Amino acid sequence: MSLSCREAVQGSPETTGRLVMSRIKFFLTASLMSMVFMSPVQAEVMTLQPLESARTSPSDCWGCCCGTSTASMNPASLSINSCTYQGGYCMGDSHKAAWIYEVPEMAHGATVTTMRIAGSRSGSYGSGALYVGWSSSSSLNANSIIDTMSNPDAVMSINWPASANYSFVVPSSIHADGNAGYLVVVAATSSQYGMTLVNSGANGARILMIIEEELCVGDFDESGEIDVSDVLHLLTYYGTNDSTCDLDENGIVNVNDLLLLLGGFGGCA
């Protein structure tokens, strides 16, 4: 006499146990395979104000009106212009603007995606240049400015806009490796008529950095990785509506949240 599947299962506790465990294993495997644990990315803008600023001037020697020799520190405004000659004689000295910024070290998992130099200006407009270079010192002076112009880490050919505000993207080579330290920026214009750069307040020359940071979702104790303590923390709130542990945001902490957490186990560090 043959038994039905239901009767066979009901009549064999050992078989019933194997089937139940098999179904649980299948459910867990299928659920884990269907869920991808992805850490979201948070973006923020960091604004860096200059530690010091300067306006450069050439020396008083004959025919030296295009060079850089001295620096007036931290002026209220920065008037810059190119040098001019007439009949072989120097008719106007060249002046440039310079700033030094402290770029902080990025947190673990954070990267600088974009760096800009922005500010406000008035006066003439047109072509110019920005010299950007890392410095071992926090001090800005004529020597560090000359060194940045002579051995820059990046040179940007720019066009000063006719509008009051300017914003120039710094080459990614400056920040691609997560560099931190002191960054010198020197601004020049090809206009002999000159322009004035705002050098204080919210419209002064500043560096804007867009920073993206990968959030370690499920790292409840902020240890840098998802481990056993995080699993135990989630189990403490199992069956509740705790928003921190409700990883799939369905209103309750349940098996789906546990599977998501296990899917990222050991990650983020």
Q: Are 199 and 79 in contact (CB under 8 A)?
A: no
**pLDDT per residue as tens digits for the range 189-248:** 999 889 999 999 999 999 999 999 877 888 898 888 889 999 999 999 999 999 999 998
What length does the chain have? 269
Q: Quick one: pLDDT at residue 60?
A: 73
The answer to the question of residue 1 being in a domain is no
Residue 233 lies in a domain: yes
Domain membership of residue 261 (yes or no) is yes
Do residues 244 and 143 make contact, with C-beta atoms less than 8 angstroms apart? no
Task: Write the pLDDT tens digit of every residue in 27-42.
Answer: 444 444 344 455 567 7
CATH of residue 248's domain is 1.10.1330.10
Phi, psi of 210 (to 5 degrees): -90, 120
Q: Which domain does 224 fall in, by range?
A: 216-269
With residue 31 as reference, give the H or E element that holds it.
Answer: helix 13-34
The reply to whether 149 and 201 lie within a common domain is yes
With beta carbons less than 8 A apart as the criterion, state whether 103 and 176 touch.
no
Given a contact cutoff of 8 angstroms between Cβ atoms, the answer to whether 126 and 160 are in contact is yes
In a shared domain, residues 111 and 130: yes
Q: Is residue 265 part of a domain?
A: yes
Give the model confidence (pLDDT) of 91-102 as tens digits: 788 999 999 999
35 occurs within a structural domain: no
Annotate 45-59 with b (16+ C-beta within 10 A) or e (fewer).
Answer: eeebebebbbbbbbe
Same domain? For 138 and 255 the reply is no
Q: At 90, list the tokens.
A: 């120097």
Q: Is residue 148 part of a domain?
A: yes
Alpha carbon dihedral 194, 200, 205, 206, in 10-degree steps, equals 180
**The model's pTM:** 0.71
20 located within any domain: no
